[in-house]
Amino acid sequence: MNKMTVRDVEVEGRRILVRVDFNVPLDEKTGEISDDTRIRAALPTIRHLIEREAKIILMSHLGRPKGKVVEGLKLAPVAQRLSQILERAVGMAPDCIGPEVERMVANLRNGDLLLLENLRFHAEEEAGDASFAQALARLGEVFVNDAFGAAHRAHASISVITNYLPAVAGLLMEREIENLAGLLENPAHPFAALLGGAKISDKISLLENIMGKVDLLLIGGGMAATFLKAKGYEVGLSLIEEEMLDTVNKLMSQAQQAKTHLILPVDVLVADELTEQARTEVVPVENIPPDRRIVDMGPQTLGSFSQELRRCKTIFWNGPVGIFEIPQFARGTRELAQLLAHLEAKTVLGGGSTAEVVNEMRLTDKMSFVSTGGGASLEFLSGEKLPGVEALLEKR
């Protein structure tokens, strides 16, 4: 990685403003943090700064408050969880800018931590407002971006702030870039991409960019229905993107020309409704009933996908291959997660739902790398420049 990191700057006694991604899932009933993976992902950078006696100011968004203060999206529970993990006090600011926050920052001692309130309580954050970015920048002397999950956004605290402070990558940001760039630059072969999820439209650029770089392209999840429809199969009530059918046909031709082996399901689990009480059956893709929808891959497909993945040395996985939120539709996703966790291959997973699955199954540590960024990892692997990465200082 040719970007400067937090290791390349003097931090002792200085106010270090760190953009983290503490956009953690909250339990709908209790409001408590249901998964603290994103908090723990930022620990290497935070501990690096504590050990070097920096004055640490953390800032993050949480949810989508749309520029208004939302009681259930305040960051106090995050400060509390971080304090428990670190076993040291974490101060909580009443806002992310303003005189009171500046006073709290001025009173920080070396090694102290202060978490600013939800950035998105201010509409100026997502608007990329320069004045708001300047107000944030006044709090620090060095800006560290460790929020890869938000690096594809040109928000005030991500890219605009770099106009007012020297900006370097955090240790998580560094790991994200190195692992994802490694997939594009020098993967060990055979290299497979296992892609699922509901929509193909948000993966078109990714598919075009990795075509020819991957040896195998395995398609599952809701997006497989669009591929099957493009090949002329009946897909029943399955959600498909009609406007993508021509694009999918072009992608299949590109795969053939690039000698990328594109593999689609040969059998699927279909259901009459999307509930735990649904009636289900496994059918070949040639016999999908018109009144049913695809909810998971079938056992024959699972077997053939598993066989192909076992011979690979590098695997990138993004997107569940079934509606994993409903237990009886989760077999394919869960069994593939178990398989990847026990392979000797390098296994890199995109964030979002894929990360949720392996976190919930407690398999994260068994993978080579699990990205914290869903949209950001897709855009990076699509060859697009991420504003939050581009804005960081280059190594001399």
Tokens of 276: 């735990």
Q: Cα-atom radius of gyration of the chain, to the nearest Å? A: 23
- In terms of DSSP bridges, do strands 369-370 and 346-349 run parallel, antiparallel, or are they unpaired? parallel
Beta bridge partners of 296: 269
Instruction: Indicate which residue of 38, 120, 229, 346 is catalytic.
Output: 38
Is 352 one of the catalytic residues? Answer: yes
Please give the C-alpha separations between residue 73 and each of 36, 102, 119, 154, 237, in angstroms, as whole numbers: 15, 22, 11, 22, 37
The sheet carrying 267-271 orders its strands as: 280-284, 267-271, 293-297
Instruction: Indicate which residue of 149, 221, 352, 374 is catalytic.
Output: 352
Phi first, then psi, for residue 16 (nearest 5°) are -105, 115
Instruction: Indicate which residue of 138, 199, 213, 366 is catalytic.
Output: 199
Secondary structure class of 335 (helix, strand, coil): helix
Side-chain-facing half-sphere of 313: CA atoms under 13 Å: 6
Secondary structure class of 351 (helix, strand, coil): coil
In angstroms, the CA 387 to CA 395 distance is 17
Contact (CB, 8 A) for 341 and 360: no
CA dihedral sign of residues 31, 99, 42, 202: positive
Is 103 one of the catalytic residues? Answer: no
In angstroms, the CA 44 to CA 113 distance is 14
CA dihedral sign of residues 49, 51, 55, 57: positive
Tokens of 41: 């992902």
Instruction: Indicate which residue of 63, 182, 303, 375 is catalytic.
Output: 375
Is 221 one of the catalytic residues? Answer: no
Is 298 one of the catalytic residues? Answer: no
Q: Which amino acid is at 313?
A: K
Which residues are designated catalytic? 38, 199, 352, 375
